[in-house]
Amino acid sequence: MYCRPQPFWATVAAFSLGLLAVVPDARAAEAVGTKDRLHWAFHPVRRAPPPADSLKNPSLGRHPVDAFVLSELEARGLGYSPEADKATLLRRVYLDIVGMSPTPQEVAEFLADESGDAFEKVVDHLLASPRYGERWARHWLDLARYAESEGFKADETRPNAWRYRDYVVRSLNADKGYDRFILEQLAGDEIWPEDAEALIATGFNRHYPDESNARNLMQRRQEILNDITDTVGSVFSGLTFACARCHDHKFDPIPQADYFRLQAFFANTAADDHIPLLFGEAKSRYDERLRKWEGATRFLRAEMEALEAPKRAEILSDYVDKYPEEIQVALRKPESERTPFECQMVAKAKLYIDPSSHQYLAPSKAAAAKLKGDQKKRWEALSQELEKYAALHPGPLPVATGIRDLSGTAPATHLLKRGNWDSPESEVTPGFLSVIGRRTPEAPSKASRSTTGRRTALAKLLIDPSNPLTSRVMVNRLWHHHFGRGLVATPSDFGVKGESPSHPALLDWLANKFIAEKWSLKAMHRLLVTSRAYRQSSEHRPDAFRTDPENRYLWRYSRQRLEGEVIRDNMLFVSGRLNSKMGGPSVFPALPAGMESRGGWKLSPDASDRDRRSIYVFVRRNTRYPMFETFDMPDTHEPCARRNQTTSPVQALTLLNSELTHGWAGSFAEKIHRESSSALGDQIERAYMWAFGRPPTGEEQKIAEAFMHSQARVIEAAAIADPERGVSPEAVARRTALTDLCHALMNSNEFVYRF
Amino acid sequence: MSAFTKLAPSARREFLARVGSGFGALALDYILRRDTLEAEAAGHVFDPLQPLQRRDPHLSAKAHSVIWLFMEGGPSHLDLFDPKPELERLSGTPMPASFGKVITAMGTASNTLMPSKRRFSRHGQSGHWISDWYPHIARNADDLTIIRSCRADGLNHVGSVCQMNTGDILAGRPSLGAWATYGLGTSNENLPTFVVMTDAAEVLGGPKNWSAGFLPTVFQGTQLRQGNVPIFHLAAPMGVDDARQRGKLDFLRTLNGRLGARRPEDSELAARLDSYELAYRMQAAAPEAVDIGRETEATKALYGLDNPATEKFGQICLRARRLVERGVRFVQCYSGSGSGWDAHNDLEANHSKLCLSSDKPIAGLLADLKARGLLESTLVIWGGEFGRTPFNEKGLGRDHNPWGFTTWMAGGGAKPGTVVGSTDEIGLRAVDRPVHVHDLHATILHLMGLDHERLTYPHNGRGERPTINAGEVITEAVEA
């Protein structure tokens, strides 16, 4: 299993002419036998037409998705369930595409629309809604292990990480092609260096957890590279590359050399948390204002600087002295004399010692804090004087956080024995999976002075139509979210140990269709949700259940528990509290009283901000927002393609007892009061319409009325009158009983699942 | 009142039979069900519809429960359990080159060696060396199994605390308590079965230290807070009395019961119905379990609750005993949480205070467990994420030392009065019988009746296990 060192000539050949040819590694290919190539995921995507004609009822197969699904069902003696009733279907598709349920008005309109394409119109309406991007961005952020803090000890905030979240929302809403989406995230800085969106997109590879305070920068760099390699391999190619870090993959045809070949694409990258987002004229205007401020304050600042300098030097040397000797040597060298590897080390140290960093250890204030006596007084006076010029300053430059290459020359990448950072073996050059390398064309990467071009080469390999993984993996992710289970049930493991596809021909047809539709996600969403497979009922059918208890072959729609984020969004929406403002820095809703969060959780001062959509809630790596965590929001330390789905008493306690849900229930009840007559029956009907998108049945109406009466008696017995507002105990009790009805509805299974 | 209770008895019976009873009513989706089959094939069996159901151990279990006393920040083995006379001789000189090169957290490796200012003596029949910082614990010397040759991989706190909990310095893996819960289930369905308590600030790295990682979240640890509401949202908000809560729950059960009756095959919906009843029971059980007001004055004094210096950690240790009595499996008690033991500047001041605050409570816990016959079935573990260096930092402190440090165990099948392994002459590195964190984990699981190699969970194409790729049971530390 051990891979011999790469011949010297191969390396030389690869680097001559400044061209880096991405060619299959000959020995890696050797290690990957022909048998491995037979695994379905590495086959070229086949082009079989939908088997509509062979169906018992060919008219049912007019929709291509149904032709494939039905042919598998019929082969097992099964067929579709009846169509879901319209109200259920509407609630299903709303929660699926925009993450909120339909209003009573929308339900009424849909029920009244008897045209043949009523549902298609709804789908188009939903896909055009900006709420779609907010809903589906969360799925992508799970994969991007998106968080807004470093993790590890201090879990410091990454102040501009949110721009990436907004980028994903915007990209989805604009229906950006998935090919472009990949190019931007992997190599936006190389391909479109003056396009703010493309630069923000590189944040994808910046979302790694990082022990920014580590002393061993060699190890730290290796851990970052490992994270990027594992993430890129699993997100875009659906393979468990991480298993090949220490040895050849035990099951899949990924030799250890392939792991480091993939890693080599990123060998010269480093985080850049200060990517300016102003260009051209806007940048010139900014610079001009800044120059004015600098000119006006030159002498003030010079004098302050003279006071600060010795203290600053103390702070920095106290920190730098703790680095191992070789790092200190690199830091002391002039930039031009540093090797590419030393440049890497210096870049890693920058977070704390670079004056432009948001975590710079020795900004003016920190240095000044060490001054004493007259010096301190003088500095304070100067500082006050400087403050007077604040109006001249153009403000902080808007910046993004992402990655970039440090130069055109990357440090060597070595295969590491057992994956240990300090056990380098043979050198490897950038390259993609050997097992499909033969079919992917060479993608030469052109280095410039500032970048190696390697990531562009990788991105092009990924989006090449002959790459059998990229489109298959992505359409399967879409299927997974729409249907609750992928055609491949392990969306990030297309390897030998992953699930085989339930509908291989359909998967391939969709993969081709995706490319033919110019990688449009919205086209695929529309295709999937307008199928009869999606529109069928989720009700139980004992006969079909016996044949296919897992519903692998889709004889019904699989009901799904809502994610914690959707539960919160929909509770806010139904209660009339949702603040639908889009984008911008994240918000901080209340934590349970007494809960701490290292790195800070400063409650949003504007109360309406606390009611914004869940996608805008700050993501602190070490402290997930408790309601989301309880409902299985994944750990942000690695990509998550398929969330766990658990049911626990802690979830019940959260929805039943938290001040938040009680508050939302109160708002919901007030809304019902406003929107309906004071008749109990009307109130119950309105509450059902909002919570479940349907009116109560006669029996449900009776049960709810009985509950309201008995609950009001219980409440009245506790005698909580409000004499000041002249409200009788009976009226208080009735109102409170309505709140309890609303609260119970929002706790019910019908609310937290979509059927 | 409730329409659910009005369901035909047979329908109701069928409905509930699916759910099982108690905590067994927690359910996962069908995908996990298949994962279960894989887990079964890999050697471990659990039912995702009843993930916390009590399960048989692989081996005969000696320890029913674990109480892990975590001295966070890195207690100095050189000043507590591992005396080094050689340091006296080399005092004030740089570390001889023969001990090798190390990179330390604070770049102190070229600083001079610093002997301990503590007085060490031998205790009990075992003759364990224990310093005068731990006089009460020293009286229990014969209960201790002292492992002097521990080693770990991290240089900094957060990675090292993470590794001591999860096996890896990088976050994302399940905590050992989560693995144990996954392996064994619960024996008290009304209480969380993996519990964490802290005496000061937030543990470095926060809740990821007791996270379930890639295991289902039901296995994650629950932090019990100080005061009367130890779990968030345990009590209804002010103004919601029990009758009102009960009325609402009954209505909710009716709503869910009617929906469930239409979908009798759906055990997850049934489990969610039942989770509300469990939550309701937990509302009463959890505050009772941590209510130390019910203990006698003598017991309180035993744990040092009568002294402000020892009261805080004493309360935690006493709560730990109450939890273990009620069947909780895995209890972690952090002393100096938020890296309190991290004595970079002034070891004497720092450790004097923390040793004082933990000595009597820990000794009280050992004595109390023994008196109640619980020590045999309770494994007590004492240790930090690493030890400290023999060379000084800033003259009076010591830097982090993951290359050699001490952990001790007591009860629960650990071999009393034993010493395992040793560090070199200056206490820098484990030399004789090195014990990696994975070995500690393998041993703890072994005593709980779990084979660390058979305890696997399918994740990303691999049958993951608590010890990753390594780990051996420390046979010398375990009673035959």
CA B386, CA A392: separation in Å to the nearest integer?
52
Q: How far is A229 from chain B (nearest CA, A)?
A: 15
Contact list, B249 vs chain A (CB under 8 Å):
656
DSSP 8-state code for residue A91: H
What chain B residue is nearest to A733 in terms of C-alpha separation?
B244
What chain B residue is nearest to A637 in terms of C-alpha separation?
B172
Closest partner residue to A495 (CB to CB) among B240, B258, B461 is: B461
Ranges of chain A with pLDDT below 50: 1-24, 26-27
End residue of a domain, out of A342, A367, A397? A397
| 3-class SS of residue A649 | helix
Q: How far is A652 from chain B (nearest CA, A)?
A: 5
Contact list, A150 vs chain B (CB under 8 Å):
none
Interface check for B240 against chain A (CB to CB < 8 A): the answer is yes
For strand B194-198 and strand B222-223, is the pairing parallel, antiparallel, or unpaired?
A: parallel
Q: What is A675-694 written as a DSSP string?
A: HS-S-HHHHHHHHHHHHHSS
For strand A424-428 and strand A413-416, is the pairing parallel, antiparallel, or unpaired?
A: antiparallel
Residue A747 lies in a domain: yes
CA A173, CA A132: separation in Å to the nearest integer?
7
Which element (helix H / strand E) includes B289? helix B267-289
In a 13 Å sphere around the CA of B370, the CA atoms on its Cβ side amount to 14
Q: How many degrees, rounded to 5, is the angle at CA A61 between CA A57 and CA A66?
A: 125
**Do residues A615 and A565 touch, judged by C-beta distance below 8 A?**
yes
What chain B residue is nearest to A149 in terms of C-alpha separation?
B205
Residue B276 lies in a domain: no
As given in the structure block, the two tokens for residue B107 are 């770049």
DSSP 8-state code for residue B326: T
pLDDT at A214: 83
Residue B133 lies in a domain: yes
Residue B242 has pLDDT above 60, yes or no: yes
What chain A residue is nearest to B469 in terms of C-alpha separation?
A246
Identify the band that residue B47 occupies on the pLDDT scale cut at 50, 70 and 90: low
pLDDT at A34: 58
Tell me the percentage of chain B whose pLDDT exceeds 90. Answer: 66
pLDDT at B226: 77
Q: Which CATH number covers residue B384? A: 3.40.720.10
The domain tally of chain A equals: 2
Residue B273 has pLDDT above 90, yes or no: no
Task: Tell me if B211 and A242 make a contact (CB, 8 A cut-off).
Answer: no
Which element (helix H / strand E) includes A270? strand A269-276
pLDDT at A668: 98
Residue B158's identity, in one-letter code, is V
Task: Tell me if A646 and B282 make a contact (CB, 8 A cut-off).
Answer: no
Closest partner residue to A748 (CB to CB) among B157, B240, B255 is: B255
What chain B residue is nearest to A741 in terms of C-alpha separation?
B248
End residue of a domain, out of A362, A377, A397? A397
Q: What is the pTM of this model?
A: 0.82
**Do residues A313 and A306 touch, judged by C-beta distance below 8 A?**
no
Q: How far is B71 from chain A (nearest CA, A)?
A: 17
What's the Rg (C-alpha) of chain A? 29
Candidates B28, B252, B337, B394, partner chain A, best to mutate (most A CBs within 10 A): B252
Instruction: Print the domain residue range for B378.
Output: 54-227+290-477
CA A24, CA A14: separation in Å to the nearest integer?
12
CA B359, CA B380: separation in Å to the nearest integer?
14
Residue A148 lies in a domain: no
pLDDT at A725: 65
Residue B314 lies in a domain: yes
Identify the band that residue B23 occupies on the pLDDT scale cut at 50, 70 and 90: very low
Instruction: Print the domain residue range for A738.
Output: 659-754
Task: Tell me if A649 and B231 make a contact (CB, 8 A cut-off).
Answer: no
Q: Which residues of A270-279 are buried (b: 16+ CB within 10 A; e: fewer)?
A: bbbbbbebbe
Q: Pick from B161, B208, B471: which is nearest to A638 by CA?
A: B208
Q: Pick from B378, B4, B51: which is nearest to B184 by CA?
A: B51
Residue A179 lies in a domain: no
The 3-state secondary structure of A287-351 reads HHHHHHHHHHHHHHHHHHHHHHHHHHHHHHHHHHCCCCHHHHHHHHCCHHHCCHHHHHHHHHHHH
Contact list, B33 vs chain A (CB under 8 Å):
550
End residue of a domain, out of A397, A428, A459? A397
Phi, psi dihedral angles at B252 (to 5 degrees):
-60, -40
Identify the band that residue B119 occupies on the pLDDT scale cut at 50, 70 and 90: very high
The domain tally of chain B equals: 1
Residue B351 lies in a domain: yes
Interface check for B122 against chain A (CB to CB < 8 A): the answer is no
CA A332, CA B170: separation in Å to the nearest integer?
30
**3-class SS shares of chain B: helix, strand, coil, % to 5:** 40, 15, 45
Candidates B163, B240, B457, B460, partner chain A, best to mutate (most A CBs within 10 A): B460
Residue B277 lies in a domain: no
| 3-class SS of residue A253 | coil
What chain A residue is nearest to B29 in terms of C-alpha separation?
A645
Residue A666 lies in a domain: yes
Task: Tell me if B206 and A597 make a contact (CB, 8 A cut-off).
Answer: yes
pLDDT at A33: 57
Average pLDDT over residues B119-134: 98
DSSP 8-state code for residue B145: E
pLDDT at A274: 93
CA B471, CA B443: separation in Å to the nearest integer?
9
Residue B49 lies in a domain: no
The 3-state secondary structure of A506-519 reads HHHHHHHHHHHCCC
pLDDT at A723: 57
B60-114 per-position pLDDT tens digit: 999 999 999 999 999 999 999 999 999 999 999 999 999 998 888 888 888 999 9
Task: Tell me if A629 and B273 make a contact (CB, 8 A cut-off).
Answer: no
Strand residues in B337-439 grouped as ranges (E): 378-383, 387-393, 397-401, 405-410, 418-420, 422-423, 430-432, 435-436
Diameter of chain A by CA atoms?
94
CA A745, CA A738: separation in Å to the nearest integer?
11
Contact list, B27 vs chain A (CB under 8 Å):
647
What chain B residue is nearest to A713 in terms of C-alpha separation?
B244
Count, in order, helices (H) and strands (E) of chain B. Answer: 12, 17
Residue B369's identity, in one-letter code, is L
Q: What is B230-249 written as a DSSP string?
A: -STT-SPPTT--HHHHHHHH
pLDDT at B403: 97
A93-123 per-position pLDDT tens digit: 999 999 999 999 999 999 999 999 999 999 9
CA B74, CA A467: separation in Å to the nearest integer?
51
Identify the band that residue B44 occupies on the pLDDT scale cut at 50, 70 and 90: low
Residue A705 lies in a domain: yes
Residue A522: CB atoms within 10 A of its CB come to 20
Q: What is A704-755 written as a DSSP string?
A: HHHHHHHHHHHHHHT---BGGGTB-HHHHHHHHHHHHHHHHHHHSHHHHEE-
Indicate the average pLDDT of chain B. 88
Count, in order, helices (H) and strands (E) of chain A. Answer: 33, 8
Interface check for B251 against chain A (CB to CB < 8 A): the answer is yes
B401-425 per-position pLDDT tens digit: 999 999 999 999 999 999 999 999 9
Residue B254 lies in a domain: no
Strand residues in A15-119 grouped as ranges (E): 19-20
What's the Rg (C-alpha) of chain B? 24
Own/partner long-range contacts of B161-166 (Cβ < 8 Å, ≥24 apart): B161/B70, B161/B72, B161/B203, B161/B204, B161/B205, B161/B209, B161/B385, B162/B205, B162/B208, B162/B209, B163/B385, B163/B437, B164/B70, B164/B383, B164/B384, B164/B385, B164/B437, B165/B209, B165/B210, B166/B209, B166/B211, B166/B213
Candidates B5, B170, B217, partner chain A, best to mutate (most A CBs within 10 A): B217
Chain centre distance of CA A619: 11
Closest partner residue to B205 (CB to CB) among A152, A234, A596 is: A152
The sign of the dihedral angle between the CA atoms of B261, B267, B269, B272 is positive
CA A693, CA A86: separation in Å to the nearest integer?
10
At how many degrees (to 10) do helices B347-371 and B308-325 cross? 40
Identify the band that residue B137 occupies on the pLDDT scale cut at 50, 70 and 90: very high
| 3-class SS of residue B287 | helix
CA A263, CA A257: separation in Å to the nearest integer?
10
Residue A283: CB atoms within 10 A of its CB come to 14
Residue A729: CB atoms within 10 A of its CB come to 17
CA A624, CA A634: separation in Å to the nearest integer?
9
Contact list, B239 vs chain A (CB under 8 Å):
720
**Do residues B3 and B254 touch, judged by C-beta distance below 8 A?**
yes
Residues 6+ apart with CB under 8 A from A216: A324, B103, B155
Residue A330 lies in a domain: yes
Closest partner residue to A540 (CB to CB) among B218, B236, B264 is: B264
What chain B residue is nearest to A322 in terms of C-alpha separation?
B107
DSSP 8-state code for residue A49: P
